[in-house]
């Protein structure tokens, strides 16, 4: 069976080798006669699998013991509340960089728990850009500085690291594992799994343990990072099957040569797609060149009337889920780790044919 190319922003395509392995192991995991999802989370097999997934992630990102690696539930959105609840015990304001729709959602949720300071916002005019940090308000006296390194909807990405005396918290849902990362520059990293990691619902957290003790007294145990850490991410029944799948993805990444190899591939994919967009009068991208995302590439057609035809022809050509987010319109190609260069090449060829027919 040939599978179509799926450019969905999330839940997104997973490596085929991982899906095949999961399929093979579905009815009888490692000779146990059970599916992994049928096994007790307290069994030695499940505990060892969760530990192996954590160890693999630690190798991939070079995460030291100063940081906890946690598997949580409730999607990245539940961390929008967990961040102020875990770090806001001292009553200081919460600082946010507002670069797009996911930052705005995180900020709106934090307002429920304290004072929010918007230290900077991406400009609304085209091309959209992230202001340099010199132009930001200072977050130094805040409980933390939150930013979204990659805005999945807007296609805006930081290619530099903000600095602050306040702990730095990053929603890396759509960019974690796309390239190597200096984890030590961050204090908290969280990511919903459904892009580069595994099934929706699971959240990966990397938390500097030094920050424990700052939680608000009303922080629910299930959202409390210190409590989750002490329970080995098993305070309640964790999403064992999702963690198992994430572990297979981590193993796959290691076999591909790790994150340096992924960065090389991802850079090539993004460069070729942006070159095709920039090389044409027919297609446009709304983001400043320096701030363009490697993972989510929004693009518009010269005439929005053609959007529907573009999408239906793309579908027929096996290029799926290219519709831009409903709030933005246009197109968006999400080109996560599991999208091969061949998918991007096929998209570029399709775009060029479409332009010849319709320009």
3-state helix, strand, coil in the chain (%, to 5): 40, 15, 45
110 is in an annotated binding site: no
Q: Which is nearer to ligand PMP, 200 or 261 (CB)?
A: 200
194 is in an annotated binding site: yes
Q: How far is the CB of 290 from ligand PMP (least distance, A)?
A: 20
Q: How far is the CB of 171 from ligand PMP (least distance, A)?
A: 5
Helix (H) or strand (E) holding 1: none
Q: How far is the CB of 353 from ligand PMP (least distance, A)?
A: 30
Name the CA dihedral angle for 259, 262, 268, 273, rounded to a multiple of 10 degrees. -110
The residues facing 189 across adjacent strands are: 170, 206
Is position 136 annotated as part of the catalytic site?
no
The active-site residue, picked from 195, 225, 229, 252, is 195
Residue by residue, DSSP assigns 108-140 as HHHTTTS-EEEEEE--SSSSB-PPPGGGSPP-T
Q: Which is nearer to ligand PMP, 29 or 321 (CB)?
A: 321
Q: How far is the CB of 152 from ligand PMP (least distance, A)?
A: 3
Rounded to 5 degrees, what are φ and ψ at 149? -55, -30
**Tokens describing residue 8:** 């969905």
Q: Which is nearer to ligand PMP, 166 or 203 (CB)?
A: 203
Please say whether the beta carbons of 299 and 126 come within 8 A.
no
The active-site residue, picked from 102, 136, 252, 294, is 102
Q: Write the Ramachandran bin of 74: left for phi over 0, alpha for psi from -120 to 50, otherwise beta.
A: left
Please say whether the beta carbons of 121 and 168 come within 8 A.
no
Is position 171 annotated as part of the catalytic site?
yes
Q: How far is the CB of 151 from ligand PMP (least distance, A)?
A: 6
337 is in an annotated binding site: no
171 is in an annotated binding site: yes
Taking CA atoms, 270 is separated from 153, 185, 192, 327, in Å, by 16, 25, 22, 23
Residue with tokens 């305070």: 235
Q: Which is nearer to ligand PMP, 146 or 269 (CB)?
A: 146
- Core vs surface per residue 19-58: b (16+ CB within 10 A) or e: eeebeeeeeebeeeeeebeebeeeeeebeebbeebbebbb
263 is in an annotated binding site: no
Q: How far apart are CA 260 and CA 267, in angstroms?
A: 11
196 is in an annotated binding site: no
356 is in an annotated binding site: no
Residue nearest to ligand PMP (CB): 75
Q: How far apart are CA 223 and CA 79, in angstroms?
A: 8
Q: Which is nearer to ligand PMP, 322 or 351 (CB)?
A: 322
Q: Binding residues for ligand PMP, per CB under 6 A?
A: 10, 75-77, 102, 148, 152, 171, 173-174, 192, 200
Q: How far is the CB of 77 from ligand PMP (least distance, A)?
A: 3
The active-site residue, picked from 92, 154, 171, 225, is 171
Q: Which is nearer to ligand PMP, 239 or 282 (CB)?
A: 239
Known binding-site residues for pyridoxal 5'-phosphate equal 76-77, 102, 152, 171, 194, 236-237
Known binding-site residues for L-glutamate equal 42
Annotated active-site positions, please? 102, 171, 195
């Amino acid at each position: 069976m040939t599978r179509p190319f799926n450019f969905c922003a999330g839940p997104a395509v997973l490596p085929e080798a991982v899906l095949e392995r999961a399929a093979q192991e579905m009815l009888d995991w490692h000779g146990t006669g059970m599916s992994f999802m049928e096994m007790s989370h307290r069994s030695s097999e499940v505990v060892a699998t969760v530990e192996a997934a954590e160890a693999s992630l630690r190798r991939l990102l070079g995460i030291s013991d100063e940081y906890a690696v946690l598997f949580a539930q409730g999607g990245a959105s539940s961390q929008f509340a967990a961040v102020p609840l875990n770090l806001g015990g001292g009553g200081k304001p919460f600082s946010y960089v507002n670069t797009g729709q996911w930052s705005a959602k995180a900020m709106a949720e934090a307002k429920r728990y304290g004072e929010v300071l918007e230290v900077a916002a991406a400009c609304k005019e085209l091309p959209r850009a992230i202001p340099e940090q010199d132009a930001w308000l200072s977050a130094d006296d805040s409980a933390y500085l939150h930013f979204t390194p990659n805005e999945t909807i807007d296609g805006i990405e930081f290619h530099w690291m903000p600095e602050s005396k306040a702990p730095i918290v990053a929603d890396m849902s759509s960019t974690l594992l796309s390239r190597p990362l200096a984890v030590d520059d961050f204090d908290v990293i969280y990511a919903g799994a459904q892009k580069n990691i595994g099934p929706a619902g699971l959240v990966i957290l990397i938390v500097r343990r030094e920050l424990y003790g700052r939680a608000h007294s009303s922080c629910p145990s299930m959202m409390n990072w210190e409590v989750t850490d002490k329970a080995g991410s098993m305070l309640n029944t964790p999403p064992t099957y999702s963690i198992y799948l994430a572990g297979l993805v981590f193993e796959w990444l290691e076999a591909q040569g790790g994150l340096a190899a992924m960065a090389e591939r991802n850079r090539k994919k993004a460069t070729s797609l942006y070159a095709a967009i920039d090389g044409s009068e027919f297609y446009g991208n709304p983001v400043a060149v320096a701030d363009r995302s490697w993972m989510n590439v929004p693009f518009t057609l010269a005439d929005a009337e053609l959007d529907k035809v573009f999408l239906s022809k793309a579908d027929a050509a096996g290029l799926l889920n290219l519709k831009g987010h409903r709030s933005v319109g246009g197109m968006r190609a999400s080109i996560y780790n599991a999208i091969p260069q061949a998918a991007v090449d096929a998209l570029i060829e399709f775009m060029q044919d479409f332009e010849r027919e319709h320009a």
